[in-house]
Structure 1
Amino acid sequence: MNFSNSEMTDMVLMYGQALGNSLEARRLYQEAFPERRLPNHKTFANVVQRLRENGKFQPRFSDRGRERTERTLDAEEEILNVVENDPGISIRRLSYRVGVSFECVRLLFMGSHERVGLPNTSKFC
Structure 2
Amino acid sequence: MAYTTVITGPERRRRWSEEQKLELLAEAFGPGGSVTETARRADICTSLLYRWRRAALAPPPCLTPAVLIASSDEPAERAQGPAMLVELPGGARVQVMASAPADLVTATLKALR
TM-score strictly above 0.5:
no
Give the alignment's TM-score, normalised by structure 2: 0.36
Structure having the larger proportion of residues in strand? 2
Give the alignment's TM-score, normalised by structure 1: 0.33
- Higher relative contact order structure (alpha carbons within 8 Å, sequence separation ≥ 6): 1
Structure whose CA Rg is larger: 2
